[in-house]
Amino acid sequence: MQDTPLETRMPSSDGQSVSLDTTPSQPSYTVLTVAPDATDAECMAASGTDLSLYRWVDDRPRFEAIETRQNRGLARPIVKTFTSRWAGRVPNPVMLTHIVTTRCNYSCGFCSFADTLNSVSDELSLEEIEKTYATLGDMVNVIVYSGGETTVNRQLPEIIEAAYRLTPVKSVYVISNAWKPDLLFEITHRLMQTCPELHLTWSLSIEGPREINNRARYTKKDGWDAWQNTIDTMWGLKRMRQLFGYNQLDVQLCTVCTPDNAHCLPDWYDMVRDVLQPDKWNLNLMRRSVQ
């Protein structure tokens, strides 16, 4: 466990530099380690993952591919962007961030939407979303799906499929806290088959070692292990990619740096690199004060 006090200097609202003392003030946390030559099975065992608990890791429901004539190459949006700018016109969007819901099953104090969470009235219907996608033009290449918790919106697969049908999107990036692993597995099976030309990235939120992460989630459900759900989801998605040839699937972990977890980040980085081994690890800075 990291015992050395850390000091980070961050700009304040008046432009002056202020000190953020990240001396550990949290309960102790568990550091996972494995041998340098550890296999995936050994890494899964070290992280407490048992994929036999989940139906949709080794089994696959069948879906029909969506027929579409969209041109998903990169050349068109690049050329048209420069052409539009040269002509003094505003180009059509190349990337879209779509907040599909503000509902969430957790209550993380650092969430950017903590003050407006769980408002169902803000959500667009699938019909409204399809009408919007149809107006985006022929240049959209990347769509980021965010929330709230994206999978709380039960129409998430239909929304992504609508983007695949109506836009030339090549890559979608879905942010999730992975609260229900089998749900993410089923969504993945569906999208890998209905949208065969689509590159799907899951960015799974996790804020550090088990004790730190679960404390940050502020969930009131007794016995709920948010950390284990996320790690099981990561390993399950990687297994599915190997078993079913889902080469267009990426699995990432995402951590938000806050005053509550900054002290453990050196150890957490080692765990992510050596034990968990996602395709990519993203570290983001907190954008609001912890409530």
Note the pLDDT of residue 245.
97
Q: What is the pTM assigned to this prediction?
A: 0.83
Q: What pLDDT, in 10s, does the model give residues 204-254?
A: 999 999 999 998 887 656 667 999 999 999 999 999 999 999 999 999 999
Is residue 217 within 8 A of residue 108, CB to CB? The reply is: yes
pLDDT tens column, 31-49: 999 999 999 999 999 999 9
Domain covering 40-57+93-285, topology = TIM Barrel (3.20.20)
Token duo for residue 217: 């989630």
pLDDT over 70, % of the chain: 77
Whether pLDDT at 117 is above 80 = no
The residue among 109 and 29 whose pLDDT is bigger is: 29
138 confidence band (pLDDT: 50, 70, 90): confident
> How is 246-282 classified by DSSP, letter by letter?
-TTEEEEEEEEE-TTTGGGHHHHHHHIIIII--SEEE
Distance CA 152, CA 155 (A): 9
Segment among 49-58, 84-93, 125-134, 146-155 with least mean pLDDT? 84-93
HEC-encoded secondary structure of 94-129 = CEEEEECCCCCCCCCCCCCCCCCCCCHHHCCCHHHH
Residue from 140, 151, 248 nearest 200 by CA:
248
Asked if the model's pLDDT at residue 157 lies above 60, the reply is yes
Q: Quick one: pLDDT at residue 26?
A: 54
Q: What is the pLDDT of residue 18?
A: 43
Q: For residue 256, what pLDDT is reported? A: 93
What is residue 218's three-state secondary structure? coil
- pLDDT confidence of residue 12: 44
Task: Give the Cα separation of 168 and 73 in Å (integer).
Answer: 8
User: How much is the pLDDT for 1?
Assistant: 46
pLDDT average, residue stretch 72-100: 71
> Over 90: is that where the pLDDT of 80 sits?
no
Instruction: Give me the percent of the chain exceeding a pLDDT of 90.
Output: 63
Q: What is d(CA 97, CA 273) in angstroms, rounded to the nearest whole number?
A: 28
Give the contacts of 188 (CB within 8 A, at least 6 positions apart). 200, 202, 237, 240, 246, 249
